[in-house]
A = this chain, B = another copy of it.
Amino acid sequence: MKMSSGVEWALHSCVTLSQSHEPVPAARLAELHGTPPAYTAKHLQALSRAGIVRSTMGQVGGYTLTRPAAEISALEVVRAIDGDEPAYRCAEIRQRGPLGIPAEQCSRPCAIARAMAAAQDAWSRALAEISIADLAADIDADSDGTAMSDVRRWLTATRS
């Protein structure tokens, strides 16, 4: 049960993008976060496919959020990067072996699968309640209100 490390980069990238109304190139985000440029770009493509960010080509292109940061949940970002299939996938053990139950009698999911699904739902709900704007605000509060303004200043300074 290991989450892709790209999730962390994607969340940080979304927080950074929430501080800029202009497109930010993937290379700029990679430089700011100290991450491999090419691999960072790959994850941004995944966010683009999921409809979370919009890509703009051309000389002053880059990535922008498609929606206000308050309307983007952390769950969406995690699912865009890590996939939306549940962590636990029932292999229907109950149908196998000498005491296997015929498939036609299995109307409900296995009790074990139900328990794991309930846990995953609790996890999803916790992440769905957190927006990118919340994360930006929390990061800002941790730094006494300097972090986000520093990011905005850096983004405009490196644009020239």
Contacts and interface: CB of A to CB of B under 8 A. Distances in A.
A90 interface: yes
A139 B118 contact: no
A8 B139 CA distance: 38
Contacts of A94: 12, 139
Contacts of A147: 99, 101
Interface residues on A, range: 35 or more
Which of A31, A100, A123 has the most CB atoms of chain B within a 10 A radius of its CB?
Answer: A123
A145 B7 CA distance: 44
A156 interface: no
A110 interface: yes
A103 interface: no
Contact of A91 (B5, B78, B112): B5
Given A1-B83, A3-B1, A101-B143, A125 B122 contact: yes
A88 B8 contact: yes
A130 B143 contact: no
A2 interface: yes
The 8 closest A-B pairs by CB, nearest first: A34-B96, A111-B138, A119-B126, A123-B123, A34-B97, A3-B87, A122-B122, A122-B126
Interface of A: 1-5, 7-9, 11-12, 15, 31-35, 74, 78, 82-83, 87-91, 93-94, 96-101, 108, 110-112, 114-116, 118-127, 130, 134-135, 138-139, 141-143, 147, 150-151, 154
